[in-house]
Structure 1
């Protein structure tokens, strides 16, 4: 409170003070003097403060003290209002900043949610595509394994057919050896016939000798032709064996090879049989015309001729395709 605050000891009468009263300025000086005396250190403590003061002076002092109190209250109210206004503005500013931060956080959260959803959708599409491709690759692998299994079965069948071809070639080689033996026997018989013809040439006249010599030359030429054909057949069989060996390393179309080999063997046999039939027919004809009856062969020769006939007889083979 202010220093001018005054508390009277006795009740003060309620007298209105006119601000236009002319006596107010004249009373200020005695009131100031009395106040100075009352506050002096040498004054007696038992003397009241309003002793010797009029009612107007006391009312004026109370008015001043009340005005000072009102001014102090107004100052405090102003400061409180300013503090409240500053706090309100600061709170409003803080609320605005918090709202902006909250909106920014919401925007970032929505953006993050959109990005996360997009990434998840892309991952889902990627996994779906990879799953479809994996299923297609598995189906292709199953198809390839099935084809490989079929090829393996066909390869086994081809190997079995190749073994059959090898067996046939071996049989053909055995028949070729038998034919070679029969050829040697034929050559022996031809030599014996030549010796007999030479002995007959010495006995018959010159013309008969010339005919026998001519027939002997033709027989020799035929024998040489037979030898050449047999040699060519042996070479063909050997080349066929080499081809079969080469086919073992690279197995190809075994069925076609088997058909070709069978056709080649059948053709060679037919040609050989035709040649033998022609040679036998010509030899028999020449013998029937030029020579007398020949002595019957010995038992060993008969067995040899029988084996020759068995060797010459071809094995049944399927007809070759054109």
Structure 2
């Protein structure tokens, strides 16, 4: 607007100028209206955009909450599954430990029984070694007894030959002793046969010892029975040997007495203190 003063000389110019000012004011008002309308439109658009952004933010927040709830459920499910797996694993681990402990106890018991079996097996092997030594000694004694039997048979033959030159009574006694000694020799031969059978059976048992480790108790009993039988047989053989030696000595003494008597009877001249022996001819045969 103009600030010039309106005087009387200038009224027409003043009116034109006022009209011009009014027109410019109207234009300015129209411009202000247009600016206000545009500002309002921009404000409306901004408000709409803000409302849309708020709605989008709200939707995004809601979606985020839903995702967080789903993730929470998934995490809870995963934690539950992991806890269940850990519980099952703990149960399996505890069961395995209990089973392993029982297996270890069984292994300890088995090792204890195995050690006992090993000790019994060592005892059995020692017994087998002693039995083998005893068998070797028995075989050696059997050879000696066989030689002794041959010498006894030789002595018996000599005693029988010598008994032909003694009186009938002495010959009968020597014959009876020889028969008894022959019977004892036969019984001794029977014992030798039984002993040979026992030796063969023992050899078979010793050969199958490794396959019968689990039956050490019965084998031990058989070894003890065999050892006892061996002692009994050895005692019987010793008794028979002693008796045979006694009979042989008696036969030898009888033969020597008969020989001395024969020598005394064939002496010439006879001793005066010698008595005439019983017999038809008064002398015995000088047959050697």
Instruction: Tell me the TM-score normalized by structure 1.
Output: 0.55
Structure 1 residue aligned with 2:16: 51
Inter-partner Cα distance in structure 1 for 2:203 and 2:99? 45
- 1:184-228 CA-partner distances (Å, limit 9, x unpaired): 3134223422343355468889xx99xx6x998897676455324
**Pairwise CA RMSD:** 4.9
- Indicate the SS of the match to 1:252: helix
1:98 aligned to which of 60, 81, 84: 60
CA 1:185–1:51: 2 relative to 1, 3 Å? closer
Alpha-carbon offset, residue 74 of structure 1 = 4.9
Question: Within the alignment, does 1:109 sit opposite 2:77 as a pair?
Answer: no
CA 1:234–1:99: 2 relative to 1, 3 Å? same
Question: Within the alignment, does 1:193 sit opposite 2:156 as a pair?
Answer: yes
Question: Does the 8 A contact of 1:8 with 1:50 survive in 2?
Answer: no
- 1:242-294 CA-partner distances (Å, limit 9, x unpaired): 42354257633434322211213324554676699799999x99xx9xxx945
1:243 aligned to which of 194, 205, 219: 205
Bigger Cα displacement from structure 2, 133-142 vs 79-88: 133-142
Inter-partner Cα distance in structure 2 for 1:93 and 1:9? 54
Inter-partner Cα distance in structure 2 for 1:52 and 1:197? 201
2:222 aligned to which of 260, 271, 294: 260
Inter-partner Cα distance in structure 1 for 2:110 and 2:122? 18
Structure 2 residue aligned with 1:163: 126
Structure 1 residue aligned with 2:37: 75
Structure number with the bigger relative contact order (C-alpha 8 A, sep ≥ 6) is 2
Alpha-carbon offset, residue 137 of structure 1 = 4.6
Inter-partner Cα distance in structure 2 for 1:261 and 1:281? 30
Alpha-carbon offset, residue 140 of structure 1 = 3.4
Inter-partner Cα distance in structure 1 for 2:232 and 2:66? 104
Alpha-carbon offset, residue 63 of structure 1 = 8.2
Inter-partner Cα distance in structure 2 for 1:49 and 1:187? 191
- Indicate the SS of the match to 2:16: coil
Inter-partner Cα distance in structure 2 for 1:259 and 1:272? 20
Question: Does the 8 A contact of 1:161 with 1:254 survive in 2?
Answer: yes
Give runs of aligned pairs for residues 1-322 of structure 1, distance below 5 A.
7=1, 48=13, 50-51=15-16, 61=23, 64-65=26-27, 68-69=30-31, 71-143=33-105, 144-145=107-108, 147-198=110-161, 200=163, 223-224=185-186, 226-247=188-209, 251-267=213-229, 270=232, 293-295=254-256
Alpha-carbon offset, residue 121 of structure 1 = 1.0
Question: Does the 8 A contact of 2:124 with 2:216 survive in 1?
Answer: yes
CA 1:176–1:269: 2 relative to 1, 3 Å? farther
Question: Does the 8 A contact of 1:158 with 1:254 survive in 2?
Answer: yes
CA 1:52–1:246: 2 relative to 1, 3 Å? closer
Inter-partner Cα distance in structure 2 for 1:105 and 1:130? 36
- 1:37-71 CA-partner distances (Å, limit 9, x unpaired): xxxxxxxxxx9473397x8x987x58854762564
Larger Rg: 1
- 1:268-322 CA-partner distances (Å, limit 9, x unpaired): 554676699799999x99xx9xxx94559xxxxxxxxxxxxxxxxxxxxxxxxxx
User: Which runs of 5 or more residues in structure 2 are unaligned?
Assistant: 7-11, 258-288
- Indicate the SS of the match to 1:51: helix
- 1:111-134 CA-partner distances (Å, limit 9, x unpaired): 342244134314422442343144
- Indicate the SS of the match to 1:251: helix
User: Which runs of 5 or more residues in structure 1 are unaligned?
Assistant: 1-6, 13-46, 297-322
> In proportion to residue count, which structure has more helix?
2
- Indicate the SS of the match to 1:84: helix
